[in-house]
Amino acid sequence: MRRFWSPKRTQPAEQPIELRLPSTLGYEKVAMDTVATVAARMGFRPDQIAGLRTAVSEAVTNAIEHGNSGIRNAEVHVVITVAGNALTVRVRDQHYRRFNRGYGYDRPDLERALQGEDVGMGMWLIRQFVDEVEWTGVPGQGNEVRMVLRCQ
Amino acid sequence: MRRFWSPKRTQPAEQPIELRLPSTLGYEKVAMDTVATVAARMGFRPDQIAGLRTAVSEAVTNAIEHGNSGIRNAEVHVVITVAGNALTVRVRDQHYRRFNRGYGYDRPDLERALQGEDVGMGMWLIRQFVDEVEWTGVPGQGNEVRMVLRCQ
Amino acid sequence: MAFLDDTLEVTSRQHGKVTVIDIKGDVTTFADAKISEAYTTATEAGAQQLVLNFHHSNYINSAGIAILIRIVTSCGRNGQKLAMSGLNEHFQKIFRMVGLSQYADIYETEEQAVAALSS
Amino acid sequence: MAFLDDTLEVTSRQHGKVTVIDIKGDVTTFADAKISEAYTTATEAGAQQLVLNFHHSNYINSAGIAILIRIVTSCGRNGQKLAMSGLNEHFQKIFRMVGLSQYADIYETEEQAVAALSS
Ligand SMILES: Nc1ncnc2c1ncn2[C@@H]1O[C@H](COP(=O)(O)OP(=O)(O)O)[C@@H](O)[C@H]1O
Ligand SMILES: Nc1ncnc2c1ncn2[C@@H]1O[C@H](COP(=O)(O)OP(=O)(O)O)[C@@H](O)[C@H]1O
């Protein structure tokens, strides 16, 4: 068997892929699908991609339900950057409201949830499936979740 | 067997999904994947989706190679609108150069191609796979390809 | 917008004494009414063993998990046995991570779940 | 950027008198060097029957088709027989629409293509 090679192409500048979505539940699926196809083309494993789908879905759902809540014609802005083996996804909303539940460090308290209490688990789920995550907010502007997943 | 229903949700306004891509060959795959996943969720048939992938790929490739050629840090703007059963995809570039090959009405001349002549076939392929297509250009601004595919 | 519409199908059927609730599609906040109604109807009919059978559910988010937690709570109150089947690996993992698998046994297939509840 | 990199693998092997060129991945403008080199190498080695065998090629664009047209032209000049296999339905349809199938028979499987060229 003989193998053939093409000359290596120069790497383009790391311009991001940007996605803007209506701030309506359901559209988080478009973000999830787009990030998943980029990750698949980058060579991530299926289980990593499944986790990334969950992380992106939770981040965009939070942007819609919390960050943009009550803003008419709001949008969610998703910025996808591919650099080497790292995939960075930033999810931005337009409002600013302080994050108030500890950024998902604690495992959701299932006992309390079973008592009917509303325990959030989105941030915690995000934390389980990415290598790096950071929540930042700019007063008067919006919140941003920055998630990084590395290949291999 | 018993079937259960949820109350119908109100339809959101028809705000589009917007995608901005670096004007670099290869990124047309991101546009193709994103449109394909939206189409799949809308319920398009697999053969329609395969055709749409080709149409979007050719339109974005043309935007990169012709519309944006020679522009540094150019971007390709893809606007996806879902309205009822119709999926509309607009592909915009930043340059304006008159389209010069008849907008793909004619089947590519394979005989001439086999003589080594460079016969374009992108526009013709697009025409084969969408229900409606229109090319427009605004001098000094950019070109736009508007493609519509209908479900069923 | 077709892909925002309710893409969930919930149906239920009997398998001997076991009630199987089939859940096909996205399990998100919009699934609440259908899943809750299916559960309530089964309970009113006297169901003691229930299987939530997920098919092709490629998308379950935290709001969907919250719905399932409420079903677990109700099953506890009503003294019903609950099992789940048909989840893909990713969601089996999430259900284990969250601790849901302590309250409802998770099986690969519907047959295994029905057999376990019937014995 | 991994997904922009050359995701095409071109290899070649002999099947009796038939040279099978395996093409795995995206067939776009970036495929030109690899595919052309594989063809040239086979031709220099005296290949008279060639199969272009596509595996998992979920993406062939018009630039890729242009490469294949050049291979068809060269095969004509060099008096070689050419067949193609392993294309999915969509690309079989495109190759028929474009008229490429008049110059290279299209088979579902590699085995069928090899058998046809060997006979
Ligand atoms: N994008 C955001 N903008 C404002 N607040 C947010 C945002 N994301 C999360 N939060 C806050 O953090 C809390 C915890 O989020 P999460 O763990 O996802 O659970 P849940 O969304 O179910 O409450 C939310 O209830 C909300 O108060
Ligand atoms: N977005 C665009 N901007 C400017 N010119 C374009 C654009 N798209 C197509 N064209 C013109 O139309 C011609 C035919 O396009 P096409 O049928 O796709 O074949 P090809 O791109 O292989 O030449 C191109 O060569 C180019 O001159």
- The alpha carbon dihedral of A152, A108, C59, A70 has a sign of negative
Q: How many domains does chain C fold into?
A: 1
Using pLDDT thresholds of 50, 70 and 90, give the confidence band for residue B5.
low
A58·C61 Cβ contact <8 A: yes
Which residues, judged by CB distance below 6 Å to any ligand atom, belong to the binding site of ligand 2?
A: B 58, 62-63, 66-67, 93, 97, 99-101, 104, 120-124, 143; D 62
Please state the rounded mean pLDDT for residues B25-36: 97
Contact between B61 and B122 under an 8 Å Cβ cutoff? The reply is yes
- The answer to whether position C4 is within a domain reads no
Please state which of the ranges A136-145, B3-12, B121-130, C3-12 shows the lowest mean pLDDT: B3-12
CA separation, residue B152 to residues B85, D60, D94 (Å): 8, 26, 21
* Report field, pTM of the whole predicted structure over 0.90: yes
DSSP, residue by residue, D57-95: ---B-HHHHHHHHHHHHHHHHTT-EEEEE---HHHHHHH
Q: How far apart are CA D87 and CA D100, in angstroms?
A: 13
**pLDDT surpassing 90 at residue C22:** yes
**pLDDT surpassing 60 at residue A11:** no
**pLDDT surpassing 80 at residue B78:** yes
Ligand nearest to the Cα of A91, by number? 1
Using pLDDT thresholds of 50, 70 and 90, give the confidence band for residue D108.
very high
DSSP, residue by residue, C67-102: HHHHHHHHHHHTT-EEEEE---HHHHHHHHHHTGGG
Give start and end residues of each alpha helix (H) in chain B.
28-42, 46-62, 110-114, 122-129
Environment class of B118 (CB within 10 Å of its CB; exposed 0-12, middle 13-18, buried 19+): exposed
Contact between C62 and C94 under an 8 Å Cβ cutoff? The reply is no
- The answer to whether position B6 is within a domain reads no
Give the domain CATH number at C47. Answer: 3.30.750.24
- Give the pairing of strands C81-85 and C105-107: parallel
Give me the amino acid identity at A20: R
Tokens of C89: 């690996």
Q: Is A84 left (phi over 0), alpha (psi -120 to 50) or beta?
A: left
Within 13 Å of residue C70, how many CA atoms lie on the same side as its CB? Answer: 19
The whole-chain average pLDDT of chain A stands at: 90
Q: How far apart are CA B27 and CA B76, in angstroms?
A: 9
D33·A6 Cβ contact <8 A: yes
- The answer to whether position D68 is within a domain reads yes
D25: containing domain: 9-118
- The answer to whether position C108 is within a domain reads yes
Q: Is the CB of A108 under 6 A from ligand 1?
A: no
Q: Is B32 left (phi over 0), alpha (psi -120 to 50) or beta?
A: alpha
Q: What is the pLDDT of residues D14-37, one digit of tens each?
A: 999 999 999 999 999 999 999 999
Q: Is the CB of A142 under 6 A from ligand 1?
A: no
- The answer to whether position B11 is within a domain reads no
Environment class of B138 (CB within 10 Å of its CB; exposed 0-12, middle 13-18, buried 19+): exposed
- The alpha carbon dihedral of C87, C90, C91, C97 has a sign of positive
Q: What local confidence, expressed as pLDDT, does residue B10 receive?
A: 47
Q: What is the pLDDT of residues A30-83, one digit of tens each?
A: 999 999 999 999 999 999 999 999 999 999 999 999 999 888 889 999 999 999
Q: Is the CB of A97 under 6 A from ligand 1?
A: yes
Q: What local confidence, expressed as pLDDT, does residue B95 receive?
A: 87
Q: What is the pLDDT of residues D52-93, one digit of tens each?
A: 999 868 899 999 999 999 999 999 999 999 999 999 999 999
- The answer to whether position C40 is within a domain reads yes
Q: What local confidence, expressed as pLDDT, does residue D4 receive?
A: 65
Give me the amino acid identity at A121: M
Give start and end residues of each alpha helix (H) in B12-121.
28-42, 46-62, 110-114
Q: Cα B148 vs. chain centroid, distance in angstroms?
A: 9
Tokens of C44: 């009113």
A20·B18 Cβ contact <8 A: yes
B105: containing domain: 17-150
Q: What local confidence, expressed as pLDDT, does residue B138 receive?
A: 81
Q: How many domains does chain B fold into?
A: 1
Give me the amino acid identity at C59: Y
Give the domain CATH number at A103. Answer: 3.30.565.10
Q: What local confidence, expressed as pLDDT, does residue A13 receive?
A: 47
Residue keyed to tokens 């998703």: A78
Q: How many residues does chain A have?
A: 152
- The answer to whether position A76 is within a domain reads yes
Mutate to test the interface with D, among A1, A3, A5, A6 (most CBs of D within 10 A): A6
Q: What local confidence, expressed as pLDDT, does residue A72 receive?
A: 82
**pLDDT surpassing 60 at residue A27:** yes
The whole-chain average pLDDT of chain B stands at: 90
Predicted complex ipTM: 0.92
Give buried/exposed letters for B21-54 (b at 16+ CB in 10 A, else e). Answer: bbbbbbbbbbbbbbbbbbbbbbebeeebbbbbbb
Task: Name residue A147's beta-bridge partners.
Answer: A89, A133
The whole-chain average pLDDT of chain D stands at: 94
CA separation, residue D97 to residues B131, C76, D90, D103 (Å): 17, 62, 11, 13
Using pLDDT thresholds of 50, 70 and 90, give the confidence band for residue A101.
low
Q: How far is the CA of B58 from the centre of ligand 2 (A)?
A: 9
Residue keyed to tokens 């949700």: B9
Q: Is D67 left (phi over 0), alpha (psi -120 to 50) or beta?
A: alpha
Please state which of the ranges A4-8, A134-138, C42-46, D71-75 shows the lowest mean pLDDT: A4-8
**pLDDT surpassing 80 at residue A8:** no
Q: What local confidence, expressed as pLDDT, does residue A140 receive?
A: 77
Please state the rounded mean pLDDT for residues A84-100: 89
Please state the rounded mean pLDDT for residues A138-145: 87
Q: From the CA of D1, how many Å to the nearest CA of chain A? A: 6
Q: What local confidence, expressed as pLDDT, does residue A10 receive?
A: 47
Q: How far apart are CA C47 and CA C22, in angstroms?
A: 15
Using pLDDT thresholds of 50, 70 and 90, give the confidence band for residue A7.
low
Please state which of the ranges A16-20, B113-117, D68-72 shows the lowest mean pLDDT: B113-117
- The answer to whether position A58 is within a domain reads yes
Q: Who wins on pLDDT, A92 or B69?
A: A92
Please state the rounded mean pLDDT for residues B36-62: 97
- The answer to whether position C102 is within a domain reads yes
Nearest to A67 by CA among A130, A145, A120, A134: A145
Q: How far apart are CA B29 and CA D25, in angstroms?
A: 13
